[in-house]
């Protein structure tokens, strides 16, 4: 049994079938890159895995546990628990502009613990003290994570005072704070100027080297995909057209669709 099992995921928007039966597996600690031309369902697949979209059909298991099954209905609380197994870093960072870098990273941690407080019988003053304690502890955790992405000196700045690369590093820290088992990235560098791409890719590479987190990265950065991935999934028209090691996909594939795509990308065109 693989760590992540994705089985027959299908998704249709109106008349358009976007995911037409996606199957793949991934082992714990592996990095998967998803590549392919624009509009063929890469983002939709990540959104389905992160419960941002509900698949019409299919199943997803993490470490043997069903986290999504189109044949089952799950209540909100169960969905909230299951979705914590995955984290998402978006193309456009999606930071909260009204919070500092540190607050952006600590926010979800605070919310989760404050939610837990609701069940406790505490008076106003006890609650206030507990909230303060939670906030201080989580600020420390958030600071430690910001250090890992090289941003401890920017902790108190608001997103508008950060470069795109720095904002994306905060977004990575924020996703890491919740300790997901699988971290997903949707084209994490495509909204950045080319000179800022490197710092974000470096952080992702360091994450791979220093943690055992499983990652799924949708990317148009072919050199990066080649270097960082254990597996590569090539998507075309809502299907898995090819799946294998970087060597198998980038060097050895006889598939004409894969070959045409890679040839185009190597000539510097954006897919």
Ligand X SMILES: Nc1ncnc2c1ncn2[C@@H]1O[C@H](COP(=O)(O)OP(=O)(O)OP(=O)(O)O)[C@@H](O)[C@H]1O
* Interacting partner of 134 out of ligand X, Mg ion, none (Cβ under 5 to 8 A depending on kind): none
- Cβ atoms of 58 and 34 closer than 8 Å: no
Tell me how far, at minimum, the Cβ of 221 lies from Mg ion, in Å: 14
d(C-alpha 101, C-alpha 104), whole Å:
5
Report the 3 state secondary structure along 36-97. Answer: CCCCCCHHHHHHHHCCCCCCCEEEEEECCEEEEECCCCCCHHHHHHHHCCEEEECCCCCCCC
Tell me how far, at minimum, the Cβ of 238 lies from ligand X, in Å: 8
* Interacting partner of 85 out of Mg ion, ligand X, none (Cβ under 5 to 8 A depending on kind): none
207 CB contacts (<8 Å, ≥6 apart)?
Answer: 148, 172, 176, 183, 213, 215
Tell me how far, at minimum, the Cβ of 218 lies from ligand X, in Å: 7
Kindly tell me which of 38 and 212 has the beta carbon lying closer to Mg ion.
38
Assess 219 for contact with Mg ion (CB under 5 A).
no
Assess 43 for contact with Mg ion (CB under 5 A).
yes
Tokens (6 digits) for 135 = 């906030």
* Interacting partner of 29 out of Mg ion, ligand X, none (Cβ under 5 to 8 A depending on kind): none
DSSP class of 141: H
* Interacting partner of 39 out of ligand X, Mg ion, none (Cβ under 5 to 8 A depending on kind): ligand X
Kindly tell me which of 48 and 182 has the beta carbon lying closer to ligand X.
48
Q: Which residues pair with 156 in a beta bridge?
A: none
Tokens (6 digits) for 193 = 């100027």
Kindly tell me which of 13 and 266 has the beta carbon lying closer to ligand X.
13
Enumerate binding residues for ligand X (CB under 6 A).
Answer: 13, 18, 38-44
Kindly tell me which of 18 and 145 has the beta carbon lying closer to ligand X.
18
Kindly tell me which of 46 and 175 has the beta carbon lying closer to ligand X.
46
* Interacting partner of 72 out of ligand X, Mg ion, none (Cβ under 5 to 8 A depending on kind): none
Segment contacting Mg ion by CB under 5 A, of 34-42, 157-165, 174-182, 256-264:
34-42
- Cβ atoms of 63 and 3 closer than 8 Å: yes
Tell me how far, at minimum, the Cβ of 138 lies from ligand X, in Å: 33
* Interacting partner of 253 out of Mg ion, ligand X, none (Cβ under 5 to 8 A depending on kind): none
Tokens (6 digits) for 125 = 């003053």
| String of DSSP letters for 97-137 | TTS-HHHHHHHHHHHHHHHHHTTS---HHHHHHHHHHHHHH
Interacting residues with Mg ion (CB under 5 A): 42-43
């Amino acid at each position: 049994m693989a760590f992540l099992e994705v089985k027959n995921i299908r998704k249709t928007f109106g008349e358009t079938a976007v995911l037409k039966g996606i199957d793949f597996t991934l082992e714990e600690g592996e990095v998967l890159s998803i590549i392919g031309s624009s509009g063929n369902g890469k983002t939709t697949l990540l959104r389905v895995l992160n419960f941002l979209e509900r698949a019409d059909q299919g199943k997803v298991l993490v470490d043997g546990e069903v986290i999504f099954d189109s044949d089952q209905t799950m209540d909100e609380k169960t969905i909230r628990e299951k979705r914590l197994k995955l984290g998402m870093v978006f193309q456009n960072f999606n930071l909260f502009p009204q919070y500092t870098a540190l607050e952006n990273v600590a926010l979800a941690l605070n919310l989760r613990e404050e939610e837990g407080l609701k069940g406790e019988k505490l008076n106003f003053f006890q609650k206030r003290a507990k909230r303060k304690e939670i906030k201080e502890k989580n600020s420390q955790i958030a600071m430690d994570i910001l250090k890992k992405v090289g941003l401890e000196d920017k902790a108190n700045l608001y997103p508008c005072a950060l470069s795109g690369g720095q904002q994306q590093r905060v977004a990575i820290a924020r996703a890491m704070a919740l300790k997901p088992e699988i971290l997903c990235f949707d084209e994490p560098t495509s909204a950045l100027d080319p000179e800022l791409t490197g710092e974000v890719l470096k952080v992702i590479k360091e994450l791979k080297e220093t943690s055992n987190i499983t990652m799924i990265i949708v990317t148009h950065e072919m050199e990066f995909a080649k270097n960082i991935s254990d597996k590569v999934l090539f998507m075309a028209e809502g299907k898995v057209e090819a799946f294998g090691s970087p060597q198998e996909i980038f060097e050895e594939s006889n598939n004409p669709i894969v070959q045409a795509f890679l040839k185009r990308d190597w000539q510097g065109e954006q897919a």
